[in-house]
Amino acid sequence: MTATSPAGALLKVEGVSKRFGDSPAVDRVDLSVAPGELFALLGASGSGKTTLLRLIAGLERPDGGRVRIDGVDVTERPAYERPVNTVFQSYALFPHMSVRSNVAYGLKQENLPRNEIEKRVAEMLQLVQMEAFAHRRPSQLSGGQKQRVAIARSLAKRPKLLLLDEPMAALDRRLREQTRLELAAIQKRLGIAFILVTHDQEEAMSLADRMAVMEAGRIVQIGTPREIYARPATRSVAGFIGDTNLFEGRAIQREGSYLVIRLADGDMIVHDDAEIAPDTAVWLAVRPERLRLGAMENSNCLEVRVLRLEYRGDQSILHARTPRGAPVRLKGDNEALASLAPGATITVSCAPDDIVVLGR
């Protein structure tokens, strides 16, 4: 999947807005999702991602704009008339019903034949590996098992689009990792488009074909996880997606496709084809894993003072500061960093291609 709108989109959100009082929760959002795509809406609390999901689901009505699913304008249609189902953070299972009855509930509401209901329920329970728990009630299930039941119930109606609102927020870290693998396997097996709302960048990056980063009700960048991580569009995206070093500076000279940026702690040369004029204020973003110990040939160098080492198991994070106080983090091999004592002055370097130039 590419960052551009997919051809033959299953979902099209066109200029959709929603206000609550004087505050815009969703502000003129455009979005397309392809059939079979796993798309993530990522952002901090209050960014508008859950409101956008509810607008797609039909649980909220937009103040402006249109929502189209499979070529049909569903903007004015209620939730139950849209080919969409939602898995909520709370799972919303009926506590007095068995697992089997929870999965069958929506099918019974549609008055499907009994044999068809039994067939679909059996298929869904097998899909989420919950056949052995069919007669249990939600109170007898773990958080991960409840989530599987909620997914089975939503998929039983065979929606064209499945919406998931923070579905793994209540699970511990290890169970989240396991559930992510299961969710991705289910999605690929069925080929149904999923939209996942999450504030967890690791979750979005490990699952999504593409994702949109939201801020203050707007989408600030859409792309594959790799594109957004490697080339964030704004300083806020760079700081939100993964860990990054940010340096404030000013463009002073262009030499072909290279730009000289003056920082408080010295000059850096960056490879950048954007039309950035001299004397333009910019920010530079460098991922911690792109920094290297020592002065490397044809690289930018910074002198830093070591503050501390943070052990991360397979790697360590070096925390340091430049002479003018800019924080610097370097991710590297445990053995290579182990000898660096707090207070030591060292040189770190990065190649011009490892730096992303961002506007203010």
SS3 labels along 296-318: CCCCEEEEEEEEEEEECCCCEEE
Q: Are 93 and 149 in contact (CB under 8 A)?
A: yes
pLDDT value for 244: 94
First to last CA, the chain: 29
81-107: pLDDT as tens digits: 999 999 887 778 899 999 999 999 989
d(C-alpha 164, C-alpha 194), whole Å? 7
The pair of structure tokens assigned to 162 is: 């499945």
- At 289, phi and psi to the nearest 5? -75, -10
Residue type, 149: V
251-294: pLDDT as tens digits: 999 888 889 999 999 999 998 877 788 889 999 999 999 999 99
Sequence-distant (6+) residues with CB within 8 A of 203 are 40, 168, 176, 180, 196
300-313: pLDDT as tens digits: 999 999 999 999 88
Sequence-distant (6+) residues with CB within 8 A of 293 are 330, 332, 336, 337, 346, 347, 348
pLDDT value for 360: 61
Residue type, 77: R
**Cβ count within 10 A of residue 310:** 13
Mean pLDDT of the chain: 90
- The DSSP symbol for 80 reads G
Average pLDDT rounded to a whole number, residues 318-334: 94
Instruction: Give Cα 197 distance to the centre of its chain.
Output: 8
Query: How much of the chain, in percent, has pLDDT values that exceed 70?
Result: 98
